[in-house]
Amino acid sequence: MDLKSKIRVALGLEEPTTEVKLAMEAQLEDGTIIVSEANELVAGVDISILAEDGTLIPLPAGEYKTDAGVGFSVVDEGVVAEIYDQEPAEEEEEEAEEVEATEEVEMSTEENEEDTVEQVDLKAEVVEEIGTVIKELLSEVKNDLSRLEAELNEVKASKDEVEAKNTELSKQVEELSQEPAANPVNTHKFNTVAKVELSKPYSQMTVKERIKYNLNN
């Protein structure tokens, strides 16, 4: 019995002489139904087109592809010649996706590295600025300390000068007290120091100048 007869028997269009079973049915990309007595689509099995009226037409020579993505060729009409391995194409697509994903990760990594470098540079710049500000503050503090030390030295010198004047005045008073008291002691002669006029505002005077002014006035 030929394949056509087998299909007609399977569809009930003919009386079976022997039992026939169509084990495989698939659909091409264009919607054409193909059938075979084989359990799977492999090289060497019969392959036919199932028409709408139930008749079977041997699949003409050519290259085909099922809607499941399985490609095959027919050289002799109605017989599968070769099954195309679809995995390499899928693997290439997967590899392309993996390469693309890797490139994205690398780009992301590079961007993160650039951001990290920028952050490090920014931190270094901030630290440098802070160091500069600290140096300036320390320099100002050092200058203030030097100025205060100079003022303290002036105060000390003024104090020593005042003590020397007091010692001299005490000596003069003692000498005068030992002289005969024929004439009244003129105590005003110790107050002959003229008052000192301000040559500039009191707030602008140095510590030494303020002490001298206060002593003479």
N-to-C CA span, the chain: 148
Tokens 């590295």 belong to which residue? 113
Mean pLDDT of 79-99: 71
Domain boundaries, the chain: 3-84, 90-178+188-216
Q: Which helix (H) or strand (E) holds 214?
A: helix 207-216
Maximum C-alpha span of the chain: 180
Residue 19, pLDDT score: 47
pTM over 0.75: no
In three-state secondary structure terms, 189 is helix
The rounded distance, in Å, linking the Cα atoms of 62 and 98 is: 34
The rounded distance, in Å, linking the Cα atoms of 214 and 211 is: 5
Residue 44, pLDDT score: 92
Residue 71, pLDDT score: 93
For residue 192, give the amino acid letter: T
Residue 211 neighbours by CB distance under 10 Å:
18
User: Does residue 113 have a pLDDT over 90?
Assistant: no
Q: Can you give the three-state secondary structure of 81-122, one letter per residue? A: EEEECCHHHHHHHHHHHHHHHHHHHHHHHHHHHHHHHHHHHH
Q: What is the DSSP string of 32-79?
A: -EEEESSSS--TT-B-EEE-TTS-EEEPPSEEEEBTTS-EEEESSTTB
Residue 18, pLDDT score: 45
Residue 48, pLDDT score: 92
Residue 12, pLDDT score: 64
Radius of gyration in angstroms for the set of CA atoms belonging to the chain, rounded to a whole number: 60
Percent of the chain exceeding pLDDT 70 equals 72
CB contact set of 127 (below 8 Å; sequence gap of 6+): none
